[in-house]
Amino acid sequence: MALVDKHKIKRERLDRICEGIRPQIMKGCDYFVDMLILKDLATVAFCDAQSTQEIHEKVLNGTVGAMMYHTLTLTREGLEKFKVLRVIVWFCLLHDDVDIKAAVAVCNIPSTAMEDTAADSTICHILNMYRRNTWLYQALREGTWGQRVEQIGEVASGAARVRWESLGLIGFGGTQQAFAVPAKAFGFSVIFYNPYLQDGIQGSLGVQRVYTLQDLLCQSDCVSLHCNLNEYNHHLINDFTIKQMRQGAFLVNAVRGGLVDGKAFAQALKEGRMQVATLDVNESEPFSFAQGPLKDAPNLICTPHTACYSEQVSLEMTEAAATEIHRAITGRLPGSLRNCVNKEFFVTSAFWSVTDQQAIHSGIVGIPVTHNLPTVPTKHGDNREHPNEK
């Protein structure tokens, strides 16, 4: 495969997602609004595969763009199965389900509506743990109805008052800032840890900032996770960090399952070191109580990765994703994209010939899939003190 003089390249043509063809777009949702936006530009096909192994070869060979949910994880190996994939739009704020360094333009969908929905769900989970509504409902279904004081105390054992409790947030982005206001209204004393945020935000919201993860864990009655998952914070909640938490602390995780070491977490619940926890996400999804380290864990509530869901948000996100795909088709990559999260990793095709078709493999972004992409050094060392790299 021959390289050519980069000064002789008509680079703008290589930045096009397609030239004179009707591109095929794969979508992971079954809404109709995207069809209205893209009907004159592309062929849109629904695909509910849970892995690339389930995707038909024709789809892998022809898909130029994809609109995906978190149900499908795309590693570099998985991305290489797509022969002409150029852009992925992720239906969420986070994007750690896809390898952003694999030379495919990756976009997320920032949404204040999604932030509000996630904040609503998180505060509901926390209040449920404190007031134990799920356990009271189960007791009532089982015929346990406490009429005497001691019976009520037995059924509602563990119920606690919210006011003056310390709520610790790991991460403090838009969702958490939206979440801090109702949490304070319920009486929580809110503290947060985010090493990437500039000073000053805490004063405007009336919350307290701590500067180490250890300080947050040891000062919080309830810990809520709100950070991206990356190589530095995998299993951020582990046996070591759990031991730094207050005895009988609460935990809620509605962002990424990989932040929690399930084995250490389950053991802490069994031993009573952690009183109660709620997980909307799990490291292995779809989650099943019948298997895995959490199957016998007491005082645990799990929901099926739905903290950000509402019908209105889903329609808004689908429309926004289709609009971003529209920009990709009609413009150039990655410049025309509004929400591309990996421009620093997006490898252009400036060093590959346009005229010599033998010099261009039909791989990702016109670069041969076997080509070694340049490594990009991280600005942080292997420091587990940084849970939320941005």
Residues acting as catalytic residues: 256, 285, 305
* Phi, psi of 77, deg, nearest 5: -60, -40
3-state secondary structure of 16: strand
Whole-angstrom CA distances from 152 to 127, 155, 158, 277 are: 19, 5, 11, 22
For 272, the token pair is: 């009573």
Q: How far is residue 251 from each of residues 50, 124, 219, 231, 301, measured CA to CA in Å? A: 28, 13, 13, 22, 11
**Neighbour count for residue 330 (Cβ, 10 Å):** 11
What is the per-residue burial (b if ≥16 Cβ within 10 Å, else e) of 98-108? Answer: bbbbbbbbbbb
Q: Could you identify the residue written with the tokens 């309830």?
A: 222
List the strands of the sheet with 63-68, edge to edge. Answer: 43-46, 24-27, 63-68, 87-90, 105-107
Distance CA 203, CA 181 (A): 13
Q: How far is the C-alpha of 322 from the C-alpha of 316, rounded, in Å?
A: 10
Angle, alpha carbons 290-258-261 (nearest 5°): 65
Helices (DSSP H) in 15-132: which residue ranges? 33-38, 57-62, 76-79, 112-131
Q: In whole angstroms, what is the distance from residue 230 CA to residue 98 CA?
A: 11
Taking CB atoms within 8 Å and a gap of at least 24, the contacts of 70-78 are: 70/97, 70/305, 71/28, 71/285, 72/28, 72/97, 73/97, 73/98, 74/98, 74/99, 75/99, 76/101, 76/102, 78/51, 78/52
Closest CA to 104 of 316, 337, 322: 337
